[in-house]
Amino acid sequence: MLLHYVSDMPANYCEVALPVPLRLAFTYAIPDRLAGSIFAGSRVLVPFRNRAMTGVVVEVSSRRPDPARVKTVKEIVEALDPIPALTPKLLELGRWVGGYYVAPLGEVFRAMLPPQVDLRHERELLLTDAGRARRDELDAAGNRSEAEVAELALLSLLRIEDRPVRADRLRKLPGGESAAERLLRRRQLEAREVTLHRHARLQKIVAWDSTEDVSSLGEKEARVYHVLAEERGPLPLPALAKLAKVSRSLIERLIRQEKLKSWEEPLAVEEDLFEVDYTPPSNILNADQGRALGEINGWLEAGAFHVGLLYGVTGSGKTEVYLGAVEAALALNKTALILVPEIALTLWIGRFCRARLGASVAVLHSALPEVERAREWWRVRRGEARVVVGTRSAVFAPLENLGLVVVDEEQEASYKQEETPRYHGRDVAIVRAKLEGAVALLGSATPSLESFHNARSGKYHLLQLESRVENRPLAPVEIVDLREDFRATHRAGPLSSKLSEAIAARLDQGTQSLILINRRGYSWFVICRSCGAGIQCENCSISLAYHKQRDRLECHYCGFSRRVPKACPKCASVASGKVDILVGTQMVAKGHDFQRVTLVGVVSADSQLSLPDFRAAERTFQLLTQVAGRAGRGALPGEVLVETYYPEHYAIQLAARQDYLAFFERELQFRRLLHYPPFTALASVLVRHTKIENAIRWSRQLSAFLAPQESRGVKVLGPAAAPLARLKREYRFQFLLKAPKRAQLTRVLSELLTFSEEKEIPERAVLVDVDPLSLF
Ligand code: ADP
Ligand code: ZN
């Protein structure tokens, strides 16, 4: 389909947010043929800068745009949704996200929407009159250069085809790529964008569709009913035949009899992620769990916005409380959303929910194939799934009549999106609950300082699970002082003698050990045992990783690579010049239930303490407490060994005692004194460019704008070289903005971006992160 440009002005207009880094919406006209099919929240295809682009309608109006502001109004090409993809509540939520995180609305909506699997944009080239003349001229010429030969081939092909040809086909001709560029520049060719609907392979999905009395069904029909209506929900036809142990022709017959309805859907890559015969444990709630659930049920019945913080030590049975709350929400005819911090947990909790709640559970996370994710998303949008389990972006799942949002492990950093829009899933979840008059339930054994502070000050309701289920004891934690170990053994291996012995004992016993290596590297890297120096990337100033197969050191950010040096580059004078390779693995063991683990060892427990980050102590405390909670979860008692060079640090001491409250008090004091969250709203602004002059000039310009803001209550630190001062060949400078009042901060950031646009600083050179979790 071609893009049309308007001639006369039709009666209706709309504002469309497009996924471009501009903080405004664009006005388009609604052509007559689309009248009545475009609403706020609809996805539409529009022409934008010579291309076709998908956007979201934010407003429809009959007001003619001010001709002084908008010169030509283009028409919407196509409406993409039979029902608007975004509900009014989600549009409102998107506006909030855009405002709070100063992010372009179109990019916010793009993050909220399912992947677009049914459309493909393509470029076609066609011959102009000048192109035809050029072809004849080249054809007649006797002596042609190589470039001219390529041009002639391309032009001739277009003339023979006598219609527009796909650009990628022409580029494949010898020299075609640059010939096409030249011909376009000279207007001997013309390009245009076309949008094609992809024809996905389809499969037949069937669902139960009869109100007939179940007791009157035949045996086979009853099996079909059971699978579709009670166990699983709509299924592809072959899967149903297999699960219900019936023939396909029986299913076809039931469709004809209208006991089943059926429709076509794109073929999903993975049919079902859940084990079919999983029976979840049916636990009887203990007194603490019962009390917490009782309170939550009260809020749900009241139907008003509440935030509960479910604070319970590891292994206290929070999952049971979540599920009880979900059941209560469903019983009130509402829907529920469960957010978890990592993909593996969506399967674990999703499986639990499927088994307990049946058909209406959808799972949404970024590792699903796009087709599958889109299918799940639309299943939710059409109201077929009433419970969603997912990771961060599932906070935007299009559930209506939302009653409950659960955020499991609310302190986890993975809830923060590290690209535009840089939102925090937990915070968006709370705002969403507020917009929908729902209950937000945050759960953690080590709540973030912010959340616990809110619970203590009465903004949230604190719900506590005091002990582990069945009163299993928390495993004793012992701190191993690595300095002492080194003095005694004169060995600085990765494992202390104490930890090695403990692991050996577990191997003898036949129980399991869990060893957490608290390093942020992904793989092997090289350090010198004499001077401790690592080898860093010349572009990025971060450690290079060792790749065994290629026997080289490589940078994970920019790809720079070098040979492994024979001697240490820092202390080449050291006689032995020996280079040792140590292991550094990132291994996270949160939330999973390990029944047979009796030893947890933590290697380099303090490696995060020295990072230049005000949350370093909090992260260390959380990690140690969480990992210690993995020991002794089953019937077997456990033991935890924590190795450290800083045994006296309060984060390590208090984690060893698993004393969250003491840690909270101490850390809160520090935050108050130094004006950090939760006492201050924080944002960082990064300026980046490959040319250092530009990075410096723009930083100066922004600095000049920011300096006077101190009088409005916003403190500005910087510009300083960012912690990763050079990344992917870009130079990076950073500001940190602190404000006691959130509204001031938001206003200054928004004005800063406007200022930056006026100064024509490229959009991608300025990155704003509101409530940053890590500094760039
Ligand atoms: P948390 O998320 O609080 O760390 P979980 O929800 O994973 O803890 O529960 C820990 C274990 O306790 C699980 O194996 C769960 O099945 C079990 N459990 C939970 N509630 C009960 C209960 N009331 N009685 C017996 N076992 C329970
Ligand atoms: Zn690099």
Least confident of 326-340, 540-554, 701-715, 721-735: 540-554
At 44 the pLDDT is: 92
Is a pLDDT exceeding 70 seen at residue 775? no
Is a pLDDT exceeding 80 seen at residue 171? yes
The alpha carbon of 357 is separated from its chain's Cα centroid by a whole number of angstroms, namely 26
Least confident of 73-82, 250-259, 441-450: 73-82
- By the 8 A CB rule, do 226 and 244 touch? yes
Least confident of 117-131, 271-285, 655-669: 271-285
- By the 8 A CB rule, do 651 and 621 touch? yes
Q: What ligand has the least distance to the C-alpha of 538?
A: 2
Q: What ligand has the least distance to the C-alpha of 559?
A: 2
Q: What ligand has the least distance to the C-alpha of 543?
A: 2
Q: Is the distance from the beta carbon of residue 281 to the nearest atom of ligand 1 less than 6 Å?
A: yes
Tokens of 346: 């969506």
Q: How do residues 213-228 score in pLDDT, each as one tens digit? A: 778 888 899 899 888 8
Over range 329-348, report the average pLDDT: 90
Report the length, in residues, of the chain. Answer: 776
Considering only the C-alpha atoms of the chain, give the largest distance between any 2 of them, rounded to a whole number of Å.
Answer: 95
Q: Is the distance from the beta carbon of residue 285 to the nearest atom of ligand 1 less than 6 Å?
A: yes
At 532 the pLDDT is: 45
Helices (H), 101-236: 105-112, 129-140, 146-161, 167-171, 176-185, 219-225
Is a pLDDT exceeding 50 seen at residue 6? no
Distance CA 420, CA 107 (A): 7
The amino acid sitting at 440 is: A
Residues of the chain above pLDDT 90, percent: 41
At 134 the pLDDT is: 94
Q: Is the distance from the beta carbon of residue 314 to the nearest atom of ligand 1 less than 6 Å?
A: yes
Convert 138-164 to b/e letters by CB count within 10 Å (16 or more is b).
beeeeeeeeebebbbbbbeebeeeeeb
> Binning pLDDT at 50, 70 and 90, where does residue 137 land?
very high
SS3 310: strand
Helix (H) or strand (E) holding 508: helix 497-509
Over range 190-206, report the average pLDDT: 70
> Binning pLDDT at 50, 70 and 90, where does residue 503 land?
confident
CA-proximal residue: ligand 1, atom 16 (nearest): 281
Distance CA 272, CA 240 (A): 12
Tokens of 253: 């017959």
> Binning pLDDT at 50, 70 and 90, where does residue 583 land?
very low
> Which of 286, 316, 319 gets mutated to test ligand 1 (max ligand atoms within 8 A of its CB)?
319
Task: State in Å: Cα 717 to ligand 1 middle.
Answer: 46
Q: How do residues 154-169 score in pLDDT, each as one tens digit? A: 999 999 888 888 888 8
Task: State in Å: Cα 408 to ligand 1 middle.
Answer: 14
At 539 the pLDDT is: 64
- By the 8 A CB rule, do 61 and 14 touch? yes
Q: What ligand has the least distance to the C-alpha of 558?
A: 2
Is a pLDDT exceeding 60 seen at residue 513? yes
At 2 the pLDDT is: 36
At 201 the pLDDT is: 60
Task: State in Å: Cα 322 to ligand 1 middle.
Answer: 11
Is a pLDDT exceeding 80 seen at residue 772? yes
Tokens of 312: 């319970």
The alpha carbon of 161 is separated from its chain's Cα centroid by a whole number of angstroms, namely 46
CA-proximal residue: ligand 1, atom 23 (nearest): 285
Task: State in Å: Cα 733 to ligand 2 middle.
Answer: 17
Q: Is the distance from the beta carbon of residue 625 to the nearest atom of ligand 1 less than 6 Å?
A: no
Task: State in Å: Cα 538 to ligand 2 middle.
Answer: 6
What is the reported pTM?
A: 0.75
Over range 639-647, report the average pLDDT: 85
477-481 vs 639-644, strand pairing mode: parallel
Q: Is the distance from the beta carbon of residue 318 to the nearest atom of ligand 1 less than 6 Å?
A: yes
HSE, side-chain direction, 13 A CA sphere, residue 290: 5
> Which residues, in sequence order, are CB contacts of 616 under 8 Å at separation 6+?
608, 609, 610
CA-proximal residue: ligand 1, atom 24 (nearest): 283
Q: Is 673 exposed, middle or buried (0-12, 13-18, 19+ CB in 10 A)?
A: exposed
Task: State in Å: Cα 767 to ligand 2 middle.
Answer: 20
Q: Can you give 713-768 as a three-state secondary structure string?
A: CCEEEEEEEEEEEEECCEEEEEEEEEECCHHHHHHHHHHHHHHHHHCCCCHHHEEE
At 615 the pLDDT is: 86
The atom number, within ligand 1, closest to the CA of 312 reads: 3
DSSP track, 445-487:
SS--HHHHHHHHTTSSEEEEE-S-GGGPPPPPEEEEEHHHHHH
Is a pLDDT exceeding 70 seen at residue 181? yes
Give the environment of ion ligand 2: residues with CB less than 5 A.
537, 539-540, 555, 557-558, 560
At 325 the pLDDT is: 96
Least confident of 378-392, 477-491, 671-685: 477-491
> Which residues, in sequence order, are CB contacts of 484 under 8 Å at separation 6+?
none
Task: State in Å: Cα 344 to ligand 1 middle.
Answer: 18
Is a pLDDT exceeding 80 seen at residue 568? no
Q: Is the distance from the beta carbon of residue 315 to the nearest atom of ligand 1 less than 6 Å?
A: yes
> Binning pLDDT at 50, 70 and 90, where does residue 8 land?
very low
At 592 the pLDDT is: 45
Task: State in Å: Cα 143 to ligand 1 middle.
Answer: 83
The atom number, within ligand 1, closest to the CA of 286 reads: 23
The atom number, within ligand 1, closest to the CA of 281 reads: 16
- By the 8 A CB rule, do 130 and 56 touch? no
Q: Is the distance from the beta carbon of residue 589 to the nearest atom of ligand 1 less than 6 Å?
A: no
Task: State in Å: Cα 731 to ligand 2 middle.
Answer: 12
Q: What ligand has the least distance to the C-alpha of 467?
A: 1
Task: State in Å: Cα 744 to ligand 2 middle.
Answer: 37
Distance CA 693, CA 8 (A): 48
Is a pLDDT exceeding 50 seen at residue 580? no
Task: State in Å: Cα 327 to ligand 1 middle.
Answer: 17
CA-proximal residue: ligand 1, atom 2 (nearest): 318
At 576 the pLDDT is: 35
Is a pLDDT exceeding 80 seen at residue 21? no
DSSP track, 670-703:
HHHHTT-TTSSEEEEEEEEESSHHHHHHHHHHHH
> Binning pLDDT at 50, 70 and 90, where does residue 133 land?
very high
- By the 8 A CB rule, do 63 and 93 touch? no
Q: Beginning with the edge strand found earlier in the chain, give each strand of the sheet holding 165-166 in spatial order.
A: 165-166, 119-127, 189-197
Q: Is the distance from the beta carbon of residue 469 to the nearest atom of ligand 1 less than 6 Å?
A: yes
Q: Is the distance from the beta carbon of residue 324 to the nearest atom of ligand 1 less than 6 Å?
A: no
Mean pLDDT of the chain: 83
Is a pLDDT exceeding 50 seen at residue 273? no
Task: State in Å: Cα 721 to ligand 2 middle.
Answer: 16
Q: What ligand has the least distance to the C-alpha of 348?
A: 1
Distance CA 376, CA 384 (A): 9
> Which of 323, 446, 468, 469 gets mutated to test ligand 1 (max ligand atoms within 8 A of its CB)?
469
Distance CA 398, CA 382 (A): 9
> Which of 320, 352, 627 gets mutated to test ligand 1 (max ligand atoms within 8 A of its CB)?
320
Q: How do residues 235-249 score in pLDDT, each as one tens digit? A: 888 888 888 999 999
Over range 363-374, report the average pLDDT: 82
Is a pLDDT exceeding 50 seen at residue 490? yes
Task: Look at residues 636, 647, 396, 674 and name the one whose alpha carbon lies nearest to residue 506.
Answer: 636
Task: State in Å: Cα 534 to ligand 2 middle.
Answer: 14
DSSP symbol at 271: S
Q: Is the distance from the beta carbon of residue 765 to the nearest atom of ligand 1 less than 6 Å?
A: no
